[in-house]
Each structure stands twice: as structure tokens, then as C-alpha cells.
Structure 1
């Protein structure tokens, strides 16, 4: 009989194991990992540098980076937030640094630093780590004197434990077992992804990055209709995101796109990842404000070509493509540009519509929306409300975040509070 079995050898599982073993060294703790390696997601995080957390220390601000779970995480972040995470690692010799965008990494710039620490620390504390131990069944047991326990069956054997912590992320087999136990699980859909777009306006300029506002538009799209009707109602945005946008070989990426993919995860899944976006390359302006600016430049720079006279603060290669998309060729001088052409250019700069046809995973950092229904979890302990002595941490619950270390912070916080719940009960 074990005291605690942790299912899942990832970030949340190891963090919880260390917390339990340090606070209650007499408890027998085991980690069951289905694969041949542990901490695989830690290894690839942040391009192999491990984006440990984000330098946002105010829980009220921190929750704004979670499309799902923000309300539920406010209390937990007050108990164990970013500052507590930083202290945990630095007190144990893992020094962290803050980058300009707020992401925090080990000063070694290597995820192996974190992996080696977790493995050596669990070994020092006597936590058993059993690899190649995929769980095939989880059953509650009734013991003598009305005591409860758990029976966990793996491909290698069967184990019993007083308490279990599930920290398996979006493992569909584990999710099915949790459903069999009576839990409700929100279906998993991708959360962080880039947009696949084939369009001349962004063709041939991969690597161009600029600050932009991106809006998700309603699904209705007819590529055959190119003339705007006078009675047409302007598209209203379903979601809006603002930030750096990166043009890639396959379409668009960058924080503005990734945020939109996170907040729109379920909508975009329903759309089959074929949808429309509208980009304002000058987020401080709207079309009506840009046109007078272009008309003014027309008078001031009359003899210069539109293509070579960049009128606004966007990358030159992007300006060139947008000018051409407005029907202005390379030889057109500002004096010869018609008002209609400049109206089209103002529209390209502020209301640039694109058809997205598919998605691509953001680097190796595959994040999903979905998991155990948040109403079925006690967020003071991260214990199941459905079955006693069953705890959760990490992405197995219906919580996910934008990129930047926020998903790991959810894992650390949930693991800490679950560990405290396990120890105190």
C-alpha cells in the first residue's frame, strides 16, 4: 500500500512529489510515467530552454492570461503564485532570469537544468519513479473500517494507494478512465497554434514582424464576391487580439495570433480551422484617420513614387506588398494616385482581411483546451468533488493559457495546492 501515487511524470507530477516528500517524508510516494522518459514537455518548452514561468506577480493580472480557468485560479494564485515558484527554484539552486517579454528561464538557458534538478531531488527524497508504466485502469476500493483506497492497474502490474494525484495532461486514455469514475471532461481541442494563410500580401516576406490588431470575423465567406455592397453591414469582430505579429512561410504567427488562437480555441475548432481574420497594421488608427494622412502625403511628396515613400511606420516589405495590393504599381507617383486607390491603401493598412485555411502547431509546445470540468474540482485543495482522495494538477483540468510560461505556472500552483491537500487530509 502506497500513501500517494502520482499518475504522470511531467512538471506538475514532479513538483507535487517534491512538495509532498519534503513536507511529509514518512509518506510513500510513487510517480507512474507511461513513457520511457519523464518531463518530456519540460525538455522542449521555450525552445529547449524551459520557460519556467512569467514575471507577472499580481494574481489579479496573472489570471488574464488564462482563456479558461481565470476565475478559478485567482484564489490558488494568491496561495502559490509566481513569486512562490521563483522562490522554490532559487532556494534549491536554480537561478532564474527575466527576459524583456516577461518570460522567465533558468540562467543556464537549458531545460536540462530543470530536468536534472527534478530527477535528483526526487531521488534524494526517496520518491519512486516508475517508467513504462502506462495506467490502464483506476478503481476505488472500500477497505475495512470504512476506509477508502485506490487500485491502479498498469501494463506492468497493480498498485494500491490511499490517495492519487492525476497530472497526465491531455492523455485521452486517462480522460476516459476519469469519465468512467463519474467525472465530466470537456473535449480536448488545440489551443496555441499559428494560422495557415496563402495570400499575395504576405507572400515572399517571411520573418517580417510588426505590432498589429487582429480580429476574428464571422465564418461567412464568399471568395467570389469582391465588390462591397452599399447596404452591407461591416463585419463585427467576435474576438480581438493585439500584439506582435510574425509573417511566416505558411501564414501568420506571433503573440497576437497565438492569443487569438487560445481565446478562440473552441470557436475555431467548430469552424474546422477555416475562418476569416481582419488585420489592422496600424492599431492606433482606423481607415477614416489614415486616408487624410495619405492625401496629405500626396500633396507633400507629389513627385515621389508611392512604393518607395513609406508613409506609415510598418516594415518596408509589408508596405510594398500592401501598396501593390491597392492597385498601385512601382512607377505610380503620389501625384498620380487616385483617391480611390488611396482609399484602398487605407483599407489595406487598417482593415486587411485574410482567409485562414488551417493551423500549425506552435513549435513543439502543443497545448490543449479541455479536461476535467472545473465545477467538479475544489480549488482550495484541487481535490475531486466527485470522489474523495482523488486530486488533479496541470492540464488534465480544463485550464489553459497563452504562451509565455503561464501554462507551467498553472502546473506549479495546482501541484503545490494538491500536495498540501494530500498532506493535510
Structure 2
């Protein structure tokens, strides 16, 4: 038996729902169905942001916002001029959900619960008469003359337009490859670095502003770094992992990083500073107190790593010891050996090749009436609400086009 609709949306996540709601709000006559393979819809929304749902980011300038997307920076510029973070806030307010900005720019519902976002979407789909079906795993997709046919394990669906909002789903990518679409192979994007090193072994929980480079690459990043039980994490590391997703995958996650614990002070300047501290603090013990904005325990660890004995006074530092310490502070070498997934927010780099999509409509350049929304395409961002913003923007543009 066949079920007929005007539009089939495959994927009951953030992008699928937002797209459906916007389509029917603009054109109430259209019959729209959302097909979700799981038992429940919006499951990623539920766990995102630690169960609070990091809806978007308080970055309201499209040309600034695109800089948070390792893949998609160029392509999203136009779309963000049509629907940006400010429009997201307004959209949710109109639908009864107020958002708030936190100190780091991330935006959450005032309720602090992702359930608020889920309820908002479910209420809207009910009100608009959008059909939502769970347990519908797509087995195949066919293109007929003027419509698409989607087969699930229990049912066939026909519609004029087909929207794919399945996120990082390899099975769906394979189906689209049979329709000529190129898939950029998925590799992990947001991950932390596994590092076993005596300098940081006793320091889990210490956080500090740094800049980091990956040896033999152009990859650099700066921001807060967090020392963990298994190595290093925090925004500075996560940014490197996102921008370096492909390069680090090719290195099999075995590589060397240089950490500058003083962030923007270079080795020469650090040496000069240490020489003047030697005069100033002559009688004090070097390892006791950090003269920089570096945590005291970390400072002590770097002092010991520079072959400076625990009781050494500043006045007694040799030239070599000062050089060693300047290097440990501004250019410390660490071996990375593997990665760990960052929380439950597993993001991959990969998906439909961006060259095959018209970013004015989100329509496939290879097939009319085939559209893409959200993470199914080769776009990804660092954490902070940016991946959701891509879902809202692509859904909005798509709805407008239809």
C-alpha cells in the first residue's frame, strides 16, 4: 500500500522538525510527513548541552558566525544573511520559548530544559497537522517521473518532494551515492587528546589560557585548555580537533603538539621576563609561586621539568635553567597518542559534498525536488550551539524555497 504526501522528510531530529514546521506555516495546504527510524523523535535534542539544549550562540554577525564552522564557512555566509542567530531567538520567542545568553555566548531555553524545545516542536507539528511516524527505517529511495518513493520496512510513501535530514547516517549516505551524490567520508571531529606525561599527570582539573600548535601542520588554536585524567581537553583542544579533523585522522591520532602556557608571550620575551624576575625575586624560591597567570601547581611542575631543584632560589638560576624554563612555558612539547570522544556530543566531519548543493534553496544540484537539511551535508561546527544553528538556517531556507 502507498501513502501519498506532498513532502516526505526523512529524519525526526532538529533539522527535520524545524523544516516541517516552517514549510506548513508558510503553506498550510501541504501534506507533510516526518519519518523517524528510532522509537522516539528529537533524541539528540534531548541530550544536547547536558540536557539543556544549546539552541544557538549569541554571535549575531553572519561574517563572524561562519568562522565557527571548520567545514561550511564559505557556503553558510549567504544562508546566515537570511536566517542568523537573532532570527532563531525571534522564531522561538514567537513559538513560546524564551532563550537566555550565558557568559560564554551559548544560548539555552530559560527553563534550562531541552524538553521545552521538544514540547515546542511537538505542539507545533500537532497544531499544523504534520504527520510524525516513528519506527520507520528507510530501506530504499526511488525516483519516478514526477515524484519520489520511499520504502520503509512496513510501508511505501510517495511524495513530490523529498527532504533528507538524517544527520550522520552512513546507510542513507550510501543510498544517495547510488543517485550520484559524492560523500565526503566521515571522520570524528570533536575529541580530546590522550597524553601520558609526567608534567600533567598530577594536575587533572587545572585549566588555563594557552595557544597550541600541531607539529608539521598549519594547525593552531588558542583558548582555555583543561588538563584531564587522560590528557588534554577544553576549547583550545576541541577547536584543534575540529579544524584538524582530516589531518589528525590521517596521522592516526599520533602526533606532537606545542603548548604555550603563556598564550601570546614568545620564548625570547619569556626569557627576558625570567631574567628580570631573577633580579626582583632573588631570595625567593622559584617553584613556590607562579609569577605568571599560570596555575601554581602547573608552574611548579614546569619548573621541575626544567631541571630546577624544588628549593632553588631565583638568584641561583643558571642561564641554561632560564632557557629551559622559558621553553617549558612557551613551547612545551607533548606527544598525543589517541583520542577520546568529547562527552556524548559526537560530531563527525563528512557528508554530502557541498559542491552538489544549491545553498540558496538547499536543493540537490543533481536531482530536482531532493533537498538536504542539517548535518547530512559536509558541514560541522565546534561546540556552542553552532551545529543547531546550521540545522535551523538550512531548514528555514529550504522551507522558503519550497
Aligned position for 1:223: none
Q: Is the 8 A contact 1:216 1:239 kept in 2?
A: yes
Aligned equivalents of 1:316, 1:139: Cα separation in 2: 64
Provide the C-alpha distance between the structure 2 equivalents of 1:418 and 1:86, rounded to a whole number of angstroms: 19
> Of 258, 266, 285, which aligns to 1:305?
285
Q: Out of 74, 78, 81, which is 2:84 matched to?
A: 81
Asked if the contact 1:5/1:31 (under 8 Å) is kept, the reply is yes
What displacement does 1:117 show?
1.1
Which structure 2 residues correspond to residues 67-216 of structure 1 after superposition, within 5 A?
Answer: 67-142=70-145, 148-216=146-214
The answer to whether the aligner puts 1:283 opposite 2:263 as a matched pair is: yes
Q: Structure 2: how far apart are the matches of 1:316 and 1:109?
A: 35
Aligned-residue offset at 1:274: 0.9
| Count of aligned residue pairs for this structure pair | 399
Match of 1:232 in 2: none
Divergent runs of 4+, >3 A: none
Conserved 8 A contact 2:184-2:350: yes
Provide TM-score, normalisation by structure 2: 0.98
Equivalence for 2:14: 11
Q: CA deviation at 1:287?
A: 0.6
Structure 2 residue corresponding to 1:26, chosen from 4, 25, 29: 29
The answer to whether the 8 A contact 2:33-2:130 is kept is: yes
**Residue 267 (structure 1) aligned to one of 247, 257, 271:** 247
Partners of 1:294 and 1:311 within 8 A in 2 = no
CA contact (8 A) 2:260 2:329 kept: yes
2:9 is paired with a residue whose SS is: strand
Secondary structure at the residue paired with 1:201?
A: coil
Report the alpha carbon displacement of residue 300 of structure 1 after superposing the two structures with TM. Answer: 2.0
**Unaligned runs of at least 5 residues, structure 1:** 143-147, 219-236
- Mapped partners of 1:154, 1:351: distance in 2: 56
Q: Distance in 2 between matches of 1:367 and 1:309?
A: 40
Hey, what does 2:348 align to over in structure 1? Answer: 368
CA distance in 2, matches of 1:245, 1:44: 24
Q: Distance in 2 between matches of 1:421 and 1:397?
A: 18
Please tell me the root mean square deviation across aligned C-alpha atoms, in Å.
0.9
Q: 5+ residue gaps in structure 2?
A: none
Residue 328 of structure 1: SS of its match in structure 2?
Answer: coil
